[in-house]
Chain A
Amino acid sequence: MKNSTTTNINHHKEEQQHHPKNDPSTVSSIDSRFNQTLKNVQGLLKGRSIPGKVLLTRRAEPPDDPSIQSPTFGRSFSENDAGGRDHMHKSTEEKDQSTSKRNNEGANMLNPSTSNIDNTSKETHKSPMTARATDSTRVTKFTKELSVPTVRLERLRELGWSGVPPYMRPIVWRLLLGYAPPNSDRREGVLRRKRLEYLDCVAQFYDIPDTERSDDEINMLRQIAVDCPRTVPDVTFFQQEQVQKSLERILYTWAIRHPASGYVQGINDLVTPFLVVFLSEYLEGDVDNWSVSNLSPEKISDIEADCYWCLSKLLDGMQDHYTFAQPGIQRLVFKLKELVRRIDEPVSRHIEEQGLEFLQFAFRWFNCLLIREIPFHLVTRLWDTYLAEGDALPDFLVYIFASFLLTWSEKLQKLDFQEMVMFLQHLPTQNWTHQELEMVLSRAYMWHSMFNSSPSHLAS
C-alpha cells in the first residue's frame, strides 16, 4: 500500500509538469461557456421537443462542448479520497493509455481549481457514448476487459456507467462493488471464503431460537418479517416464500452486523436488484416466471451470500443514511434542493411558494434509491450507473434525482401544494422504457459535469 501511494504521488507530479497552470481568463471563459451550455440544455429540456436520443448524441460530440466529459471525471475526487481498495490496484494495474487519465485525476485532487481545464482538454476526445455505438462492440469491450488477468476497475467503471450487458452483470457488479477481487487468480478463492463466512453468520445470528435474542433483535426480526412480504409486491417472483425467506436471512444478518443503523425500512428494497442479478446466473427468461424451488440449497446460499456482501458494500458508502434521524439522507435532500434551485429557478420558486418541502417527496427517493419510483425492469440498468459511480454515488444521486424531478418541471409548475405532493408520490413512470431512464442519466451526467466541477456556479 505504501508503495502504491508513493507511485501515485509521483505520477501526480509528472502530470502537473505536463500541464502548465491555466490562466484565470481561460477559466472564466470556460465558465461562461458552461453557462451557455446550461441555458441551451434547459431550453431543450423545457421545450421537450428534443427526445432523449438527441441529447445522448450530444453527449457523444465532445470536441465542441467542454461540458461533456467521460463519467470518470466526475468520480475523480472521492475515488482518490476514498483510498483503500481502489488505490491498491491503481498504480500497479494501469499500464496503458488510461494511466494518463488516472494521473490526471490525481492532479485534480491536488489542484481542484485547474481540474476543469485539464479534464476538458484531456477527456474531450473520449466519450462513454462511443462505447454504445453498437451493442456488439460494447459486449466485445466488456469481454476483453473481463478476460484480462487483473481487471482494470477504472475501465470497467467507465464501460459499466452506460449499462452492462445483462448476462455480464453478476460478474461486473461483484467487481465494481469490490466484492470480487480484480485479480482473476484470487477471485474464486475469495468468493468461496466470503460465502462460507456468510453461512457462518447466518448460523450464528439467524438460526437461533428467539430466547437467545435481545428484545431489540426480536423487534428487528419482526420488522423484517413484516416487510419481506411487501417487498416489490408487484413482481410476483418476490411473493415466493423461499425468496422471502432468503430476503429475511440477508436483511437480518446485515442488520445484526451493522448495529449503528440496524434494519431500516426500505433496505429490503435495496436487496432486490442483487437478488435478480445473481439469480440470473441460474434462472432464465422473464423474472415473473422464475422459480427458485429447483435450485439447490447450496446455490441459494451462495446467491444469498453474494447479495449480502454486495448490499454491505453498497451501504458502506452510505452509512449515515440509515442511522438515527438519517442525517446522510437529510444532507443529500438539502443538496438536491440547492441544485434544483441552480438548474431550474422557476420550478424551485414554485415549490417554495407552495410550501412543499423536498423532504416530503425526496426522502423516499434517497432511502430506496429510486426503486420505488420506476418500473422494476429498469432498476438493474439504473444500478449499473450507481455501481459504476462507486464511492461518488451519494453525491451523484443528487444529480440523478434532480434530473428525475425536472422531467416534470413544466407539469409541477401547474400544480398546487397538495397536487404536487400526490403527483410526486405516484409519478407516471409505469410505461417508462430505457429511453426515459437514459435521458434522466444523461442529463444528470451533464449537470454533474457543469456544476460539480464548478463550485462557483453553486455559490453565485
Chain B
Amino acid sequence: MGAYKADDDYDYLFKVVLIGDSGVGKSNLLSRFTRNEFSLESKSTIGVEFATRSIRCDEKVVKAQIWDTAGQERYRAITSAYYRGAVGALLVYDVTRHVTFENVERWLKELRDHTDANIVIMLVGNKADLRHLRAVSTEDATGFAERENTFFIETSALEATNVEKAFTEVLTQIYHVVSKKALEIGDDPAALPKGQTINVGSKDDVSAVKKAGCCSA
C-alpha cells in the first residue's frame, strides 16, 4: 500500500456502497453524481462497478470511492464482500415500485450484518420525477427512516434532482464523525493511508450526528 503516487490529492477517502433492488436506478445515481450523466439505456450491473468523486468539506478534500452493486438477490454473496470497510451507504428504492420499498428492510439487515454499526445510511427514493406513477409516499418513507435511524431523501437521477445532495450529505456526515474522532484521538487525518478502511468511531458519535440533522427534503 502507498508505494505509488496518486495523481489526485485528498484528505479523506471514504468508501460508500450503493445498494437496493434491481432497476431502481443505482447506476444512474452514480453516473449522475460522478460524471453528470444519465442514460435511459443503461445495462444491468453485474457484480460490482465503481466510480469516484471528490468534494470539499470544511476546506478538506473528501474523496468518495463509490461501489455500485448488482441488485439481484443471487449476487448478494458476491456483492456483500464489498460492504466491508464501507463507511456510508445509499439504500435506493424506486418510488414507482412499491415492492422495491418493501425490500428496503431486507437490504438494511444485509447492510447491518456486513458493515460497521456506525455506517452512515441514506435511504434514497429515486425516480421522483415520475409523479403520476408514484407508489410510495414521502410520509411512509420518512416514517421508516425515522424508525430505522437513517437519513432520507427523494431524488431523480434523470432530472438531476437532489442527487448531489444525497451523496454530499452522506459524505459530510461521515466527515463530521471521522474528523471529530480524529480530533479526539489526536490522529493526523491527512495521514490516513489511501484505500484503507476508516473506522467511523463509536456508535454514540454517529447517533449524535444523526440527531443533529436529517436532510429529508
Residues of chain A touching chain B, judged by Cβ–Cβ distance below 8 Å, are 222-223, 226-227, 230-234, 262, 264-266, 268, 322, 324-326, 353-355, 359-360, 363-364, 367-368, 372, 416-418, 421-422, 425
Contacts and interface: CB of A to CB of B under 8 A. Distances in A.
B47 A363 contact: yes
B50 A324 contact: no
A102 to B, nearest CB: 38
Nearest to A324: B77
Interface string B42-75: 1111111111100000000000010000111011
B51 to A, nearest CB: 7
A230 B23 CA distance: 9
Nearest to A350: B4
Contacts of A425: 49-50
B23 A226 contact: yes
Contacts of A367: 46-47
B74 A324 contact: yes
B194 to A, nearest CB: 8
Contacts of A355: 1, 195
B6 A416 contact: yes
A262 B43 contact: no
A416 B4 contact: yes
Contact of B74 (A262, A268, A372): A262
Given A265-B71, A364-B46, A416-B7, 17 more contacts: A226-B23, A227-B23, A227-B44, A230-B44, A232-B43, A262-B74, A264-B72, A265-B74, A266-B44, A322-B74, A326-B78, A353-B3, A353-B4, A355-B1, A360-B50, A364-B47, A421-B50
A360 B75 CA distance: 13
A162 B103 CA distance: 48
Nearest to B41: A233
11 contacts: A222-B99, A226-B22, A230-B43, A233-B42, A268-B44, A355-B1, A360-B48, A364-B46, A367-B47, A422-B50, A425-B49
A230 B78 contact: no
Contacts of B42: 230, 233
Contacts of B1: 355
In the A-B complex, the 7 residue pairs with the closest CB atoms: A233-B41, A325-B77, A363-B47, A226-B23, A364-B46, A421-B50, A265-B72
Contact of B44 (A265, A325, A417, A422): A265
A324 B99 CA distance: 23
B51 A368 contact: no
B78 to A, nearest CB: 7
Contact of A223 (B4, B22, B52): B22
B47 A227 contact: no
A353 B4 CA distance: 9
Contacts of A227: 22-23, 44
Chain A CB within 10 Å — which of B41, B46, B47, B52 has the most? B47
A28 B132 CA distance: 74
Chain B CB within 10 Å — which of A226, A231, A234, A364 has the most? A226
